[in-house]
Structure 1
Amino acid sequence: MIEVSGLTKRYGPATAVDDLSFQVRPGLVTGFLGPNGAGKTTTLRLILGLEPPSAGRALVHGRPYPELRDPLLRVGALLDAGAVQGDRSARDHLRWLAASNGIGPRRVAEVLELSGLTGVARRRVGRFSLGMRQRLGIAAALLGDPEVLVFDEPVNGLDPEGVRWIRDLLRARATEGRTVLVSSHLISEMALTADHLIVVARGRLLADTPLAGLTARFPTLEDAYLSLTSGHVDYRGVA
């Protein structure tokens, strides 16, 4: 599982993540929600060891992410689909990532097929649409068949078929007992995908609850979300 305890991140006088604590348990799709500037992306970067915390800790499989051996085999993540060298083909990009973690070429072919990119595997990534880059980023996250998945806005740029594909993929992985954390602004999509919700604003925890716990009290998840976050929107923070 993912364990976040007292996690805090400051950038000078600005506090992006403020004493945040929660757990992301296996067997569930956990939605990570909050307004713009709520600290969601910063929290994910802290979990993945891309930035050091100012205080507190984030553990994956009981350890800080940088201490994990063969990290692609343990955690699959997509934060920025654009962070790919545009002159590489999709296949070469995945082969390079796979080789860095001792993953064979057969798995590269499998994730290309799974993500619907087999037909464009030799095309340079720089010619990909946003949706195709998203699929490539998801394929990279799946390379090691990891037990933990962490996605930031995974449906960004996807068409309706792609949105359904990623929704079914995440739910299938959770059903297999894996840990799935998904940050999204699309409340309607989280209503269809998530089992559990973590809601933050201004870097602080507002709710950590099963989806059913919110929808039982409000007509829709959107109503519940807007009620929770009312008065907490602050665009001066960090994403």
Structure 2
Amino acid sequence: MCGTGPRAQPGGVIELRNLTKRYGDTLAVDDLSFRVEPGRVTGFLGPNGAGKSTTMRMVLGLDTPTSGEALVDGGRYVDLPRPLTRVGALLDAGAVHLGRSAYNHLLALALSNDLPETRVAEVLEQVGLAGVARRKAGGFSLGMKQRLGIAAALLGDPGVLMFDEPVNGLDPDGVRWIRHLMRGLAGEGRTILLSSHLMSEMALTADHIVIVGRGRLVVQATVSELTERYPSLEEAYLELTAASLEYGANR
């Protein structure tokens, strides 16, 4: 298990209810509804501009829905006490204080959520950054920043975890490490929402797939259901998103 003792919360449910987001005349997310359940990795797929990152930002309260709801266990993220103990997320590996060491970056997050300092050393060890803990994040490679972002997501030992393109900048060993990490976290009963463009990795990592196009839900199904209907997950994705884009352009 990720932490040193039992979690207060097992995996929780992420639920979107008719979620919509407009930026002026641009409809980024369009009446989107789906659930992300505990104990499995849910892959979140869609072309660039499909609304994936905006959706994840609304779950985390970083963007406000125009209408609809984005909920974690029936409530809004912004209403959670000590939110890092319930939901961990990596949306942007570059969102770190470049003048701080990896250790101090995580320590500031820990103190903000009343987490013990011992968690900082634990997660740095878990993600393979213990040896560079005192180095400034500004000198990190993209892959190292990805690992630091994952450490921040794991810091509160949460039951719900969200990752947006976590394998960017990682070498093959790092990609395999991410795959095993995601599978292991889901095996502990946690809820994992994983956005990625790497179809080969998604086929190896995810149990369930949600595909969106032009902000709308295209399909949600298990990986096995999709690969029974199509030659591969990649072929399923390409065909389903092509149909979605054609529909979106004409509606």
Tell me whether the two structures share a fold, i.e. TM-score over 0.5: yes
Q: 1:35, 1:233 within 8 Å by CA — same for their partners in 2?
A: no
d(CA) in 2 for partners of 1:161, 1:68: 35
- Are 1:221 and 2:233 counterparts? yes
What is the Cα deviation at residue 106 of structure 1?
1.0
Q: 2:218, 2:244 within 8 Å by CA — same for their partners in 1?
A: no
Q: Match for 1:78 among 73, 81, 90?
A: 90
Q: Match for 2:50 among 10, 29, 38?
A: 38
What does residue 118 of structure 1 align with?
Answer: 130
> Which residue identity does 1:199 align to in structure 2?
I
Query: Percent identity over the alignment?
Result: 66
d(CA) in 1 for partners of 2:157, 2:245: 37
Listed as ranges, the gaps of 5+ residues in structure 1 are: 235-239
Q: Match for 1:170 among 174, 182, 191?
A: 182
What is the Cα deviation at residue 118 of structure 1?
0.6
What is the Cα deviation at residue 105 of structure 1?
1.3
Q: 1:2, 1:61 within 8 Å by CA — same for their partners in 2?
A: yes
SS state at 2:166 partner: coil
Instruction: Say which structure, 1 or 2, has more relative contact order (CA 8 Å, 6+ apart).
Output: 1
1:78-227 alignment, distance < 5 Å: 78-227=90-239
SS state at 2:229 partner: coil
Listed as ranges, the gaps of 5+ residues in structure 2 are: 1-12, 247-251
Q: 1:36, 1:233 within 8 Å by CA — same for their partners in 2?
A: no
What is the Cα deviation at residue 232 of structure 1?
3.7
Note the alpha carbon deviations across 1:166-225, whole angstroms, 9 max, x for none: 111111111111100001111111000000000000000000111111000111111111
- Are 1:9 and 2:21 counterparts? yes
> Which residue identity does 1:193 align to in structure 2?
T
SS state at 2:27 partner: strand
Backbone CA RMSD of aligned residues: 1.4
SS state at 1:207 partner: strand
> Number of paired residues?
236
Q: 2:42, 2:193 within 8 Å by CA — same for their partners in 1?
A: yes
SS state at 1:49 partner: coil
What is the Cα deviation at residue 231 of structure 1?
4.2
d(CA) in 2 for partners of 1:105, 1:161: 29
Q: 2:60, 2:77 within 8 Å by CA — same for their partners in 1?
A: yes
What is the Cα deviation at residue 233 of structure 1?
4.2
TM-score by length of structure 1 reads 0.97
What does residue 68 of structure 2 align with?
Answer: 56
Structure 1 stretches of 4+ with a deviation exceeding 4 A read none
